[in-house]
Amino acid sequence: MTYDQIIAYLYSRLPVFHQIGAAAYKPGLDNTIRLMEALGNPHLKFRSVHVAGTNGKGSVSHLLAAVFQSAGLKTGLYTSPHLVDFGERIRTNGAMIDRSYVIDFVEKNISLFDEIQPSFFEATMAMAFSYFAECKVDIAVVEVGLGGRLDSTNIIAPELSVITNISFDHVGFLGDTLEKIAAEKAGIIKPETPVVIGEWSAQTRPVFEQKATAMSAPLFVPDAPMTFCGYDGSKMLCTNTAGKTYKVGLAGDYQLYNVATALKTIEVFQKLSSLGSRVTGQAISTGLEMVTELTGLRGRWEIVGQQPLVIADTGHNVAGISYVTEQLKRQNYDKLHIVIGMVNDKDISHVLELLPANAAYYFTQAGVARALPAQTLKTLAAESGLQGVAYTSVIEAYNAAKMQATQNDVIFVGGSNFVVGDFFNIIDKVV
């Protein structure tokens, strides 16, 4: 089979959460354990850092991977979902997985997949761990897919665990209170394994402290988020509590928390891992500054056009959109145009309540089954005082915004990973 045929097989034969939602969710580790045993337990053949959280876990994972790469460590990176290409999920030293490996792995294991019936996520995770083991990575940064306790990735024995923050998302699976969600995320805390908590609240702190105590796991928390100091070209300048300034290749207010979390994680790694001595101050500075170039991270307050200023961001829940709207308030423009689509299992009404009423809206839907129909989104948005036009595809919505915008305007594209992914498909082909 060709690479495209292999990807089509994975999508058509295995339940895909990011496309169909709850029907693809297979909680528990039974399938994963059976897969790993059949493959020779590749997850036990490399060191790892495990990253969970409601928001920011992708950014923190990429920041950590960039620092490890800059330190000369051969680094695996497993994240999800992808925006444009399946290979974004599985990287070594920033390079996407070899397409030939994807083909060979699936063809070799089709009978195993038929027997175990894994989800798409379980199968791709098994592929990632097998790839990392074969590549003999020094360290792999592994992002949790959903939750933590029952997530397929929770079979690894990491050197260090990280939980970025807790807010409301996937409440149907993880619980309808912050305490319940925190308990699911805390499921990645392992016995005597250090854990970094990026942010906590009055509701979540006791959950993490109790779990860490029960696991005899040393617990660490950043002193404070980084302090924003402006920009040097496209790089954000921010300072820690000790007064040290870093240049960071990611923009957006929310990255101030993610950078602080990544720096605390690196600090703990330096002290407690046998690989820690290889992570120098220069490696940290280079990794933070060159994170997008080193790891291929996209869609985090990404500026993709000027005159008008065009920004894409994958924030998609209440906490993520809160940061986005605050950042938009800081932009200078004549008029704001928002191209937005969402999936049908999010807290849509509360997200819409956060958006500015004085913007022009272009409601749309991504090309996945979970996408909320654009017309439905438009109707719900009207209840929150948001006015605009519905478009059946992201390219139609974006082209309409471009037609209406002047050079002093801002166009924002977001609301869903899949809207941003469709958007990148458009602009990448144009460029």
Q: Which domains does the chain have, with CATH numbers?
A: 3-222+255-261 (3.40.1190.10), 302-430 (3.90.190.20)
| pLDDT tens-digit series, residues 147-196 | 788 889 999 999 999 999 987 664 555 767 899 999 999 999 999 999 99
Strand partners, 359: none
Binned at pLDDT 50, 70 and 90, residue 18 comes out as very low
| pLDDT tens-digit series, residues 352-363 | 999 999 999 999
Q: β-strands 139-143, 47-52: how paired?
A: parallel
Q: What is the mean pLDDT of residues 236-254?
A: 93
What gap in Å lies between CA 174 and CA 317, rounded to an integer? 15
What gap in Å lies between CA 323 and CA 177, rounded to an integer? 21
Give the whole-number percent of the chain exceeding pLDDT 90: 77
What gap in Å lies between CA 41 and CA 331, rounded to an integer? 50
Q: Are 359 and 337 in contact (CB under 8 A)?
A: yes
pLDDT reading at 26 higher than 80: no
Binned at pLDDT 50, 70 and 90, residue 383 comes out as very high
- Total-model pTM: 0.92
| pLDDT tens-digit series, residues 271-301 | 999 999 999 999 999 999 999 999 999 999 9
Candidate from 100-109, 246-255, 403-412 with smallest mean pLDDT: 246-255
Residue-level pLDDT at 281 = 97
Q: Are 244 and 237 in contact (CB under 8 A)?
A: no
